[in-house]
Amino acid sequence: MTRVTTRLRHLDQNLRTGEVRHDPLAFAWHERTETLRLSYEDPTDNDWWYGVLWLRHGTDMTGRHLWKAVNTPRTLAMMTRHLCMVCSASCMRNDRRIWWLLVGDSSHAPDGTPITNLPPVCEGHISESLATCPRLLERSRLISVAGTAPYAVTADVYAPGADDGPTKVLHEQHIILSEENAPLLRFALAKQLWVTLDDLRDEPLILSDWHEHVGRSS
């Protein structure tokens, strides 16, 4: 039996060594909420989204590819603008639905709403993703959704320290974006966004066509 081999592509979602930044953090007074919040020593308006500070990375795609690390600003754009994790192209179909490729079933919020922190995949890279990712080939789920909404973040949580500045006290916590969690979010540094998947529909015909293609090629 002939084994199909395909070169694994570098994903636009992943971080490169030349994009890593170590910008110093600080706590600063926020006038609107009249509270302290986590900030950078040189803050900009683009540092905060959804009431939380976001990890900074460069976006010029320079340096060595880091397989297990994601570029936070690029991934945030993919999640909110529905851009492909492979090539950054739009994943919007002509019928205004959005392609999404999951590893197995989606995660779920406590009320049963499907959620994910993985960006979508465009139609042109569905087959390539299945061919090059063993996890996807074994238990992939191709879906389309009508839309998404911000739901939660994966974030590190900091507390005011001594002279060394903010001290990390919690690592990669799952924090729901809610008024109830606003005090915690003000002390958090977000790395990834979770979104709800609205009107999720399986796309079994396209997926079964791909599995049939792989079977014929094996």
**How far is residue 129's CA from residue 116's CA, in Å, rounded to a whole number?**
17
Tell me, yes or no, whether 6 lies in a domain.
Answer: no
Under 8 Å between Cβ of 89 and 124: yes
Measure CA 149 to chain center: 13
Nearest to 100 by CA among 110, 108, 3, 115: 115
Number of domains in the chain: 1
Under 8 Å between Cβ of 85 and 78: yes
Predicted local confidence at residue 207, as pLDDT: 52
Tell me, yes or no, whether 63 lies in a domain.
Answer: yes
Tell me, yes or no, whether 3 lies in a domain.
Answer: no
The per-type count for the chain, helices as H runs and strands as E runs, is 5, 14
Tell me, yes or no, whether 8 lies in a domain.
Answer: no
* The pairing of beta strand 52-54 with beta strand 188-198: parallel
Domain that holds residue 89: 14-217
**Tokens 């609205």 — which residue?**
198
Tell me, yes or no, whether 90 lies in a domain.
Answer: yes
Measure CA 35 to chain center: 29
Under 8 Å between Cβ of 95 and 123: no
**How far is residue 116's CA from residue 199's CA, in Å, rounded to a whole number?**
14
Tell me, yes or no, whether 68 lies in a domain.
Answer: yes
**How far is residue 133's CA from residue 136's CA, in Å, rounded to a whole number?**
5
Per-residue pLDDT of the chain (218 residues; tens, 9 = 90+): 333 344 456 789 999 999 999 999 999 998 888 889 999 999 998 999 999 999 999 999 999 999 889 999 999 999 999 999 999 999 999 999 999 999 877 899 999 999 999 999 999 898 887 777 666 666 788 999 999 999 999 999 999 877 768 999 999 999 999 999 999 999 999 999 999 999 999 987 555 555 554 444 44
Tell me, yes or no, whether 28 lies in a domain.
Answer: yes
Nearest to 156 by CA among 141, 168, 140, 143: 168
Q: 81-107: per-residue pLDDT in tens?
A: 999 999 999 999 999 999 999 987 789
Torsion of CA 164, 165, 168, 174, to 10 degrees: -170
Tell me, yes or no, whether 7 lies in a domain.
Answer: no
Burial (CB < 10 A; 0-12, 13-18, 19+), residue 206, is middle
